[in-house]
Structure 1
């Protein structure tokens, strides 16, 4: 949304895109409990069969919840803080024309990022977050956060951090494992590498940044090669879905993110790249993105929820599965609806469920959340990917005047022309 000019304008002028971002910003601000503490998780998890009332053991409408849902706080959560900084920094670019608001966001961004750097630790260590989204590292978030802060502020120290060889090494930038090519909530390195590759393409910053930026560019090219159908790094289903989770469930979230990154890179000024001896133009990336988004929207065993007439009817979500019958169901009483074979009485229009398994198989079963749960991690990518991937060749490219508005030229300004001769 930040970088793609035509669609950003439509979303902000006539759609709900900017309003959605602004609402998200308000929620992120509320997570900053105090100067040295962040809120991480609202609620508690546990075993569904347990007796302790929590978000896993109770099946109730959100408005009927009467058990305690405490806010878990952390004072050492580098991954979460750096992720928040990246999100707020990108939001400051979206709202750059609202100068006061944008500057307010940037001030908050720098405070949160400083917190992430000074108070090292994972947000999910020994607390409720591990029951929901268990983080594995914060080094990738440092690269991701520093990149977005550089874009938002133009402060060269952030580029120096994102480009630091020691940080890149700790983030796994040079290990060249397949899993490191998959952009996800727990691996921000591929996204940061694409952003920095676009910086290299547009600005050619040269020394002292070129060595690491060139390595990042090579990694991006390897990732994009592995997404193309002529390459066998990742398997594909017969229906055409790329198996980025390598046989594990909940693959669609990774497919969405890959489609978005591929289209983003195709909107840059790159003419193409080599995969071994073969040269590919950026149209190959656009075609990959369109193919994967098409699979999600209908060219598969099930459409997106509420899209068309052949979509999952037993979505694993408490609110939609319970009828509006004016009965308040207890923690365990609501399980009759969780275990019901009837279709959900309420539809979450536009949600994306976890998706099919590695052979295109899909079980429309409410109790099998690996197929039917519409998790936040998956639907985050759903906001952006169809927007760009379905635009085809309409794309007007990356809006350099917006995304790089704070970035100064990285070469000396040309001297003024000489004064005219006096004859």
Structure 2
């Protein structure tokens, strides 16, 4: 409740989302989460409404955008840069020797004063940080510093925040004042982000030096074309689309080769390709956008074919697509692949196309949808471990989730950092069930360890959960005879006449 007070002058950074099992707030994955949730609502709001979840998901989106508005501060002067707050709370872990000294200090305090005084060191300050302290969020006593960026140089963070505010403005179009506030903030930030001197937010130590340990950004061009595309949808201003279309090929080249075909918090290329292809299908604007549209369409078809064939990406023995074999557990990437494939199949059907073709390979809409559904079913329990990776769903799911609040009992007692360690290493299940959280999941061989001390298996993140929400709603049966997708809502601000054939 005091987040931001450590700044001089203080800023109001209450709100937002903690990430993973930690008590840290990162703006980069928060913005990605808001963008993806908003996109799923724009496309499938009819399905959300049918299961009485539309108001709920909109509340979650608004909680995120309210925070992002606070975290992207515009100056009254057009010459002053936009300030972006990238992180609240320190993430840096202590080095082993430092950890030993801290632990020894705590032990001495315990011997001298008992656990009641263990919350601080002898000089009255708490040396722990979020990643070195296992403590409930309501019991936090360590400092929560704020990390700030220049929106002109931190182009990737700025681009993602632009995407989030722009996409959410379409979700809240019926709330005109709020929607306009989101659009105005996005436009101001985008103008700053597309000036010269751009770099990634994690390459600037004071901005994202610590975030680089967990959310390191490998480039900024994908976020700028992603943000520009969403800002075009929000405003209808072709200046933003022109930037996105003309720089799309540059974004393809800048992406990490190991991430080609992967949609997640660090790579928006394939998702932007889907959006530009949507424009080409239903609002082809011709010159000067066609070159970018064609590149996007070609890449999208190749990506979908790579998901469905076994020539590029392999699948685990249980059928889970493995998009980054040397990366983290694959289910977060499988979830977004499921979403994009199902969404693209709906676009094809709306355009009266029955298949996707890449060279000699051809895949029907049914094949695309079967793939999407298979990935969701795997996540929900149809896998070799017979384990649902969605906490609280099914007969068997993870009970040792790597999450501070879930693992420490709600017993009216305050546990210090040192005391909290006992709950981290306990073999018993968590006393609190983290309903609805998708954990990191199994490895590429379908193996999974339900162990709180192994976060690479049991830690949930807001970004991966957003991907699951998108996949679940995309593969959910529509309420009526149609596809349950809104073809026109995303175009509601676009009042251009397509060129004559």
Asked if 1:294 is matched to 2:344, the reply is no
Question: Corresponding residue for 2:401?
Answer: 315
TM-score, normalisation: structure 1: 0.91
In structure 1, C-alpha distance between the alignment counterparts of 2:253 and 2:475, rounded to whole Å: 27
Check conservation: 1:316, 1:373, Cα contact below 8 A.
Answer: yes
Please give the secondary structure, in 1, of the residue aligned with 2:274.
Answer: helix
Match of 1:237 among 316, 326, 334: 316
1:131 paired to 2:213: yes
Task: Give 1:4-403 correspondences, 5 Å limit.
Answer: 4-10=44-50, 15-35=55-75, 36-47=82-93, 50=99, 51=102, 52-75=127-150, 76-118=153-195, 120-125=198-203, 126=205, 127-164=209-246, 167-173=247-253, 177=257, 179-228=259-308, 230-268=309-347, 269-270=350-351, 271=353, 272-300=355-383, 301=385, 302-303=387-388, 304-391=390-477, 396=483, 398-403=485-490
State whether residues 439 and 457 of structure 2, in contact with CA within 8 Å, keep that contact through their aligned partners in structure 1: yes
TM-score, normalised to structure 2's length?
Answer: 0.78
- Comparing 46-55 and 300-309, the one that deviates more: 46-55
**How far has the Cα of 1:130 moved from its partner?**
1.5
Q: Is the 8 A contact 2:273 2:300 kept in 1?
A: yes
Q: Matched residues in 1 for 2:365 and 2:496: separation?
A: 26
- CA gap of 1:324–1:298, structure 2 versus 1, over 3 A, is same
Q: Cα gap change, 1:223/1:307 in structure 2, threshold over 3 Å: closer, same or farther? A: same
The gaps in structure 1 that reach 5 residues or longer are 415-423
8 Å CA contact retained: 1:6, 1:396: no
Query: What is the Cα deviation at residue 267 of structure 1?
Result: 1.5
1:11 deviates by: 6.8
Q: Output one character per residue of 1:373-417: Cα deviation in whole Å (capped at 9) or x when no partner.
A: 002221121222211123279662542321111112343589xxx
Moved more, 403-412 or 154-163: 403-412
Q: What is the CA RMSD across the aligned residues, in angstroms?
A: 2.2
What SS does the corresponding residue of 1:267 show, helix, strand or coil? helix
The farther-off stretch of 137-146 and 11-20 is: 11-20
Deviations 1:22-52 (A, max 9, x none): 1111111121245321110111112365344
Conserved in 1, the CA contact under 8 Å of 2:338 and 2:375? yes
CA offset digits 1:105-133 (Å, max 9, x no partner): 11111012122223622212222212321
1:147 CA drift (Å): 0.4
Distance 2:376 2:332 in 1: 11
Residue by residue, what CA displacement relative to the aligned partner does 1:88-117 show, whole Å, maximum 9, x if unpaired? Answer: 111111111222222221111101212222
Work out the CA distance in 1 between the residues paired with 2:155 and 2:282: 30
| 8 Å CA contact retained: 2:47, 2:479 | no
Instruction: Name the SS for the 2:135 alignment partner.
Output: coil
Other structure's SS at 2:371 match: helix
2 CA distance for matches of 1:57 and 1:403?
44
Q: Take 2:474 and 2:253, find their aligned partners in 1: how far apart are those partners?
A: 27
1:420 maps to none
Q: 1:308 to 1:108 in 2, by over 3 A?
A: same
Secondary structure at 2:315's aligned position in 1?
coil
CA distance in 1, matches of 2:487, 2:130: 44
